[in-house]
Chain A
Amino acid sequence: MNFNRGLRALGAVTLLAFVFVTFTPLANVLENRLALPEDLSPADAIVVLGAGMGSDGELSRPSLKRAVRGIELSQLGYSPLLFLLGPARNEGYPSEAEVRWPLARTMGMDPDQLLTEENGLNTREEARLSRERLFPLGIESVLLVTDGQHLIRAVELFENEGFQVYPAPANDYSTQPVGPGGRIALMKRILEEQAARIYYRSAGYL
């Protein structure tokens, strides 16, 4: 039956792809080719993009990683201003940016070095809100902190808003995994971001 033959072909291709992703360094090679390399440079501000949080007010792992990276870059003297973004998960709960603020204070940041924004629900809105908040302060160059795959899209969006952008990756996954589990996680992240780029391009955001 043709229907069964088609299903078998689809299944065989999928299993083959699974073996390639799991037992070869395919994901590592793609990561090397696609991800933006780190380009640290002194900038007017460090912008840390949101990455989600639990409804209990706990930062997600990527969110925590990005926040700590932003604070670290600030402490290293790359910029005097740290701009923390991230919305609230549910109404009546603290936003991601609000939760990141005390973390930054605990890690030695002064309140006048910190700025928060909790209205951006996606990368496009975060880029637009960053322009609205930072341009009036004379800020035109930013160190952009998010994961390496997300940076491909985020840098383009921020450049479209008029910023000079320096990518500062903060990955919560291994970019060169050696085991099958790590490779699957990395390939998932690569595919997610490629799909997001296709969506942004087709919607005219990029």
Chain B
Amino acid sequence: MSQVLLLLLVVVTSAGAYGFGRRWLRIEAPLGRGIQRTVETVGVAVAFFVVNVGLTVVGTLALRSLGFFVSLYVATDYTLIVLSFLQAVVFQYWRYAGAAKEQV
């Protein structure tokens, strides 16, 4: 039941944001384009996450070979997911800002 409530909440706030965007912000671009770019950003975040985890594991094993002990669990910290997503958002904004400038 709590899952259905969660989903319902997201549907309601998404519909509200859509109405607000159309009516008050006068956004004319199709919503599909925004969804497409969001999915793309998630893909970038996953790529960042994989590279971040890979480098953490390599770095940890390198430190261990030098006699310092660092737990491999550091690579699975939730913080790394958030940071990877932030990296992806910045990367995407930067990429599309560059593309928009070229069009001007």
A-side interface residues toward B, CB under 8 Å?
Answer: 4, 6-12, 14-15, 22-23, 52, 121-122, 178-180, 188, 191-192, 195-196, 199
Contact = CB atoms under 8 A, between A and B. Distances in A.
B39 to A, nearest CB: 4
A8 B69 contact: no
B3 A180 contact: yes
Contacts of B45: 11
B76 interface: yes
A9 B43 contact: yes
Contacts of A6: 43
B6 interface: yes
Contacts of A195: 76
Interface residues of B, number: 20
B40 A4 contact: yes
A129 B30 CA distance: 63
Contact of A121 (B40, B69, B76): B69
B72 interface: yes
Contact of A7 (B3, B6, B7, B43): B43
A8 B45 CA distance: 11
B42 A11 contact: yes
30 contacts: A4-B40, A6-B43, A7-B40, A7-B43, A7-B44, A8-B36, A8-B39, A8-B43, A9-B43, A10-B42, A11-B39, A11-B40, A11-B42, A11-B43, A11-B44, A11-B45, A11-B46, A12-B43, A14-B42, A14-B46, A15-B39, A15-B42, A22-B3, A23-B3, A121-B69, A178-B2, A180-B3, A191-B76, A195-B76, A196-B72
Given A11-B38, A179-B3, 20 more contacts: A7-B40, A8-B36, A9-B43, A10-B43, A10-B46, A11-B39, A11-B41, A11-B43, A12-B39, A12-B43, A14-B43, A14-B46, A22-B3, A52-B71, A121-B69, A188-B76, A191-B76, A192-B73, A195-B76, A199-B72
Interface of B: 2-3, 6-7, 36, 38-47, 69, 71-73, 76
Nearest to A87: B69
B6 A180 contact: yes
Contacts of B3: 22-23, 179-180
B53 to A, nearest CB: 9
B40 A23 contact: no
A188 B76 CA distance: 8
Contacts of B7: 23
